[in-house]
Structure formats: C-alpha cells, structure tokens
C-alpha cells in the first residue's frame, strides 16, 4: 500500500459499496516523500497501530465517523479494552483510490468532479498550532507561496511561535510529491461542495483539540499534524488512514522534538537530501528518478532511541502500559540528547 503500511484486501470496494481491508503497520519509516528508508524501527508498527486505534475510538465516541473497525488479535477483531497485547494489524473500511491522471508534467483531477462515493479524498489536511523549527511554513513564506495574511499574523513569525488560533493548511495526497495548495484550489481539485469543505475544517479542528488534550496528559505539546478523509457510500465524510501518531503529528516535550522530526534532523545534513531537493526542483513528477544516491542508514543509537520513543509515547498517550520495556518519554529524550543535535 505504501512506505510504512501494507494493505491486505478482504473485500474490494465498488462505486456503490465500500470494501474491507486490514492495515499492517510496519516498522518501516519514510521522510521527505522518499518512501521506504533503509532501516526498520523496532516496535514502531505496533506502537503506531495502538495509538491511532486509541484516537479513532475516542473520535467515534464524540460522533466522528472513521474507517476503523477494530484491531486484529488471533482470529478476532477487538476494541482496545479487550486486547491482550499490542498488535500491528487494524481492520478498516476500504475506499476506492482514484489516482489523478498524469498529463505531461501536471495532474488531471477531472474525475473528482463527478460526485463519487466510496473514495479517498485526494488531500492531506494539516493543522498547525505553532510553527516549530523545521516547519515548511518558513520556507514558503520566504518563497512567497504563503503570506502573513494567510497565517493571520501581523509580523514575520519565529521558530517555536505558538499561534493564537490553529492554521489549517492543505496539500495534495496522491502526487509523487506532496504539494501545498490554497483551499480554493483544494475544493476545485477534489470536487468538494462548500458544505463538505466546511465540514472537513470542523472535523479537523475537533480532532486537533482531542489530540492536543491527550498529548498534554503525557507532557507533550501538539505542534502540528495531518489528517486524511474519505467519502462513504452516502458521501458522508469519514476520517481515514491514521491520526495522532508520531508519524502523523509533530509533538514536542519542553521544546524538544517528539516525532519523526528526530529522523528528519539526521537526514538534513546528508548529501542524499541535497540530491533529493535538487531533483524536486528539476522535475516535480518524476524527481526520484534523478536521485543517483541512496539514503544512508540511521545512527544505531538514534534508531534504538527512536524505537523506545514510539513505545513510550504509546504507553503514555493511551494511559496503558503496552510496552513494559519502555522508559518514560522524559527518560528517552534525555538519552536522545546525546545522539542527535536538536
């Protein structure tokens, strides 16, 4: 299915009926749109699966529809309360993925103007509660593709600035490189009505509030994160993919990154990333073909510490000890200070 999850199809979706599948959350990771990287992070898949299941169950309790059906343990589909041990497979409602057609060096989304049902919305919705170091916002402001008016700010922001109100951003989902777009373009591209557009924003803000509250209980600040949507057979919106994990959200603990950002920091000082950025500037669609070097492996100490961080965050955000070998988030971060410069 992708760089960090495998898709096991049980029933194929159709134009009129959703299907059924299982997500197998792997220990793989991906950064900078590359896809699968050379290392695996031990227990990342199970920790991510449990964490997103926790948030899906909380969201459903508040009336938000999701694609979540339960977690796979043996031959049974269970809710978290009935689970005996951490699992890495989740059963979900399966939607159609209508990939945009490639026309030259552009993408054609005309098929989304037909009011389809049982489909993935081809967008990633990003909520931003602050602008941490490394946020794409700073580069986009510099380039002029984003303005202070967009952010509802009167003056240039600084790294770590907390926003008075969440800023909702949007990017493409099904292109070779995620591309930030305006909300007007997003509505046009995905064939959204005004009501659907507003409902996406409402659900995103509600989800952001939930993640912020639960992260705070673990001493974490919810800086930003991404959410994905689909339409069911009646074209009602539903949350899909995963939410609230260290892959989908960017958290901090007393100013220190607690997310995939730690891995991004490692790769920012590599020749591989220089080659990736150069290629993206040359060809927006087939840029990966232009990168002649492969990404290096992680520092072993960093890889081990990141594994513990995924487990520790899962324990603390879900209020249950799933991984009894994991120290606290605070203890893991103290160790990380010695292996990565943040």
pLDDT tens digits for range 290-325: 999 999 999 899 999 999 999 999 999 999 999 999
In a domain, 341, yes or no: no
In a domain, 45, yes or no: yes
What is the reported pLDDT for 24? 96
What is the reported pLDDT for 282? 86
What whole-number percentage of the chain has pLDDT above 70?
99
Among candidate residues 73, 28, 75, 21, the one with its CA nearest the CA of residue 50: 73
pLDDT tens digits for range 233-285: 999 999 999 999 999 999 999 888 898 888 988 998 899 999 999 998 888 77
pLDDT tens digits for range 311-320: 999 999 999 9
- Overall number of domains in the chain: 1
CA distance 43 to 86: 9
- 228, containing H or E segment: strand 221-231
pLDDT tens digits for range 31-46: 888 888 899 999 999 9
| pLDDT confidence tier of residue 156, bands split at 50, 70 and 90 | very high
204: buried, middle or exposed (CB in 10 Å: 19+, 13-18, 0-12)?
buried
Q: How many other β-carbons are positioned within 10 Å of the β-carbon of residue 79?
A: 12
In a domain, 89, yes or no: yes
Alpha-helix residue ranges (DSSP H) falling in the chain: 44-61, 136-143, 183-190, 194-216, 261-268, 271-282, 300-318, 329-336
pLDDT tens digits for range 95-145: 999 999 988 878 999 999 888 999 999 999 999 999 987 788 999 999 999
Predicted structure pTM score: 0.91
In a domain, 212, yes or no: yes
Phi, psi of 137 (to 5 degrees): -55, -40
Number of DSSP helices (H) and strands (E) in the chain, helices first: 8, 14
In a domain, 193, yes or no: yes
pLDDT value at 71 more than 80? yes
289 dihedral zone (left: phi>0; alpha: psi -120 to 50; beta): alpha
Residue 123 in 3-state DSSP? strand
Contact yes or no for 187/181 (Cβ under 8 A): no
**Two tokens, residue 271:** 């020749």
Please name every residue paired with 19 in a beta bridge, in sequence order, or none if there are none. Answer: 94
In a domain, 293, yes or no: yes
CA distance 332 to 311: 10
Contact yes or no for 129/212 (Cβ under 8 A): yes
Q: What percent helix, strand, coil does the chain show, rounded to 5?
A: 35, 25, 40
In a domain, 342, yes or no: no
Phi, psi of 72 (to 5 degrees): -95, 120
Could you tell me the residue range of the domain that residue 250 belongs to? 5-336
CATH code of the domain covering residue 328: 3.30.470.20
Among candidate residues 3, 56, 59, 8, the one with its CA nearest the CA of residue 33: 3
SS3 of 48-94: HHHHHHHHHHHHHHCCCCECEEEEEECCEEECHHHCCCCCCEEEEEE
First to last CA, the chain: 32
- Label the pairing between strands 19-25 and 5-11: antiparallel
What is the reported pLDDT for 174? 92
What is the reported pLDDT for 1? 56
| pLDDT confidence tier of residue 81, bands split at 50, 70 and 90 | very high
pLDDT tens digits for range 192-222: 999 999 999 999 999 999 999 999 988 999 9
């Amino acid at each position: 299915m992708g760089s960090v999850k495998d898709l096991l199809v049980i029933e194929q979706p159709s134009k009129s009926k959703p299907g059924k599948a299982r997500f197998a959350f792997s220990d793989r990771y991906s950064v900078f749109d590359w896809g699968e990287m050379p290392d695996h992070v031990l227990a990342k898949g199970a920790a991510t699966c449990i964490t997103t299941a926790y948030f899906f169950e909380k969201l459903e309790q508040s009336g938000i529809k999701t694609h979540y059906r339960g977690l796979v343990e043996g031959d049974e589909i269970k809710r978290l309360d009935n689970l005996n041990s951490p699992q890495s497979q989740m059963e979900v409602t399966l939607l159609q993925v209508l990939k945009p057609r490639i026309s030259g060096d552009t993408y054609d989304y005309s098929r989304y103007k037909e009011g389809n049902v049982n489909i993935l919305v081809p967008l990633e919705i990003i909520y931003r509660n602050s602008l941490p170091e490394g946020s794409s916002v700073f580069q986009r402001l510099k380039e002029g593709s984003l303005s202070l008016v967009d952010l509802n700010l009167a003056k240039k922001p600084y790294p770590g600035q907390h926003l008075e109100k969440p800023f909702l951003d949007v990017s493409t989902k099904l292109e070779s490189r995620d591309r930030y777009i305006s909300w007007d373009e997003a509505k046009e591209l995905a064939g959204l009505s005004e009501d659907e557009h507003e409902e996406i924003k409402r659900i995103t803000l509600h989800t952001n509030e939930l993640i912020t509250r639960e992260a705070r209980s673990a001493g974490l600040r919810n800086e930003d994160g991404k959410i994905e949507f689909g339409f069911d057979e009646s074209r009602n919106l539903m949350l899909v993919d995963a939410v609230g994990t260290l892959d989908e959200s960017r958290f901090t603990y007393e100013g220190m990154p607690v997310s995939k950002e730690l891995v991004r920091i490692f790769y920012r000082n590599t020749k591989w990333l220089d080659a990736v950025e150069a290629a993206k500037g040359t060809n927006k669609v087939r840029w990966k073909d232009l990168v002649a070097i492969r990404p290096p492996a992680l520092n072993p100490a960093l890889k081990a510490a990141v594994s513990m961080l995924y487990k520790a965050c899962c324990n603390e955000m879900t209020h249950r000890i799933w991984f009894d070998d994991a120290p606290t988030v605070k203890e893991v971060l103290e160790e990380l200070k010695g292996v990565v410069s943040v």
